[in-house]
Amino acid sequence: MTSASNTRRRVVITGLGAVTPLGLTAHESFENALKGQSGIAPITQFDASTYDVHFAGEVKNFNADLYVPKKEQKKMGRFLQFSMAAASQALQDSGLELTEEIKNRTGVFIGCGIGGLPEIEDTHSTLTSRGPGRISPFFIPSVIINMASGNVSIQYGLRGPNFSMVSACATGCHSIGEAANYIRSGACDVMLAGGTEAAICGLGVGGFAAMKALSTRNDSPQTASRPWDKDRDGFVLGEGGAVLILEEMNAAKKRGAKIYAELTGYGVSSDAYHMTNPAPGGAGAVSAMKMALQDANLNSSDIEYINAHGTSTPAGDFAESEAIKFVLGLDAAKKTWISSTKSMTGHALGAAGAIESVFSILALHTGKVPPTINLDSPSPECDLDYVPKIAREKDLKHVLNNSFGFGGTNACLIFSKC
C-alpha cells in the first residue's frame, strides 16, 4: 500500500493535559481508568431531584484559580476554564519553550459541542427576573465556543490559526485530526488541539433526558454507563476537557522532546442518514475507520486496541461493533482489544474524543489498556473482546480511537508507537 504519509511531514504528540471525572490531570485520569474507577455520581451542580436523571460524570474539586486569574474567571464559562487548564497542563508536560518564532508557527484548535449552556441558562434567569440591564457585559465571550481556542491563544501569544470545531460528539477527534493536517501541510509546526465541555445543568440534563438518550439508573449511578451490556439503557452525561500538543516530528526530536506517540491516521465521514441514529451496520463508521487506516498506510490487522465510542446506547453500541467486524474482519475483530472508557467518565460530548485520545495515547505509551466496567452480560450481538472490568497489559504498536456524533458525523484517529 502506498500513501502520501511516505513524503508528508510527520506529527507527534509531546504533551497531554486533561481534567475529567476521573482526575484533574491526564495521568491521574488514566491511572484511575486503569483501576476501573467510576467517575459517575449524583449531580451536585444543580438540584436535579425533580428531573428524570439525577446523576452525571462531573469533574470534581476543580480549582480554576490554578489556571485562570480570578478577575478573568467571570469572563469564562466552566467549559472555557477546562480548556485553559488542559492547555496549561499540556504545555508544561511538553517542555516546549514558546519563543517568538515558535509562537508565530503555533495554532490552537480546541472545540466544543454545546458551549456555555449553564451560563446561558443562568443569564436567561437574570434577564427574566431582573431585566436586560443586569446582563453581564462578559456574558457573550463567556459562552461562545470559539473562545476555547481564543483564550488559550491570547494567554500564550500563539499567532497561528485559532478556531474551534463544532461537530457534536466527534468534536475532539476532528480538532486533533485537523490540527495534524495543518502540521502535515507545513502551515504550522505546533498545534494545541482538543475539546472541552461543561453542559451539566438543567437544560443539558433535561434536554438529553427528553430525547430518551440518557440512562435513568438513578438507584445505581456508578453502574449506569454500561457499554455493550444487555441492560444498557442510555448514556451518562459527562464533562471535562483535554488538550494535546502536536509537533512536527523532526523538530520535536531535535529539541529532545518526550514523544508519546505519532498520529499516523485520520479518517472522517458522514452517515447522511439520521440526526441521532447511526446508519445501519455502522456504515459511516466503517468509512471513517477505513480512511484512517489508509491514511496511516496500515492494514486492518495492525490495529491491536480500539478505544471505542461505546456510549452505552442500544443502537450505537451495536452499530459500532458491526462496523469493527466489517473493517477488521470477524476473526481479527475477535482478537482485537476494545474498551469504552465512557463506562467510567460518562459521555463528555465535544470533549469525549480528546479525553479518549489521551487514554489511547497513554495506553500505547504504557502498554496498559483500560477496561470497560459494568459489562456483566454482553448483548448477544455485541460479541467482541471489550476488556471487561480488568485492565490488561500488552506492548502495543497501533491504536484506534473512534468518535461519532449527532448529525451522522464520524472521526477516527490512529496513534502509533514512534
* Residues recognised as catalytic: 169, 309, 347
Q: Are strands 240-248 and 11-19 parallel, antiparallel or unpaired?
A: antiparallel
Only one residue has cell 431531584, namely 49
Contact assessment for residue 363 and residue 416, using Cβ atoms and an 8 Å cutoff: no
Gap between the Cα atoms of 147 and 164, Å rounded: 8
Angle of CA points 206, 210, 214, to nearest 5°: 80
The residues near 319 (Cβ < 8 Å, ≥ 6 apart) are 278, 279, 280, 281, 282, 285
Contact assessment for residue 98 and residue 25, using Cβ atoms and an 8 Å cutoff: no
Contact assessment for residue 234 and residue 213, using Cβ atoms and an 8 Å cutoff: yes
Gap between the Cα atoms of 289 and 306, Å rounded: 11
- Of 273, 370, 374, the closest CA to residue 315 belongs to 273
Gap between the Cα atoms of 282 and 324, Å rounded: 9
Gap between the Cα atoms of 42 and 4, Å rounded: 49
Strand partners, 162: 108
